[in-house]
Amino acid sequence: MGSRVVKRAYRYRCYPTNEQTVGMDAGITSLVTLSTGEKIANPRHERCDRKRLALAQRRLARTQKGPANRPRPVRR
């Protein structure tokens, strides 16, 4: 077989460095609170919501499109 050559060109952007320091505090209601006031949410709540959504989607997928009971899972 013949030889193959792959060439790629990249452009890098140099961003200015930020010398600002930020303090972090682990909390109960939010996962992390920064000294700038930004709060990072706890991912456990999001995980629970994703499980609930997946269950609802599975229930909806099992219903037939024609019957009158189909709107019930859609409302939930």
Closest Cα partner for 35 from 20, 25, 44?
25
- The pLDDT tens digits for 11-61 are 878 878 777 778 888 877 778 888 888 888 877 777 788 888 899 888 888
Please give the average per-residue pLDDT across 4-8, as a whole number: 75
**For residue 49, what is the enclosing H or E element?**
helix 43-62
d(CA 20, CA 51): 38
Q: Is the pLDDT of residue 64 over 80?
A: no
Q: The whole model's pTM is what?
A: 0.39
Q: Enumerate the domain spans of the chain.
A: 24-75
Can you read off the two tokens belonging to residue 45? Answer: 């709540």
Can you read off the two tokens belonging to residue 53? Answer: 């959504």
φ and ψ at residue 33, rounded to 5 degrees:
-115, 125
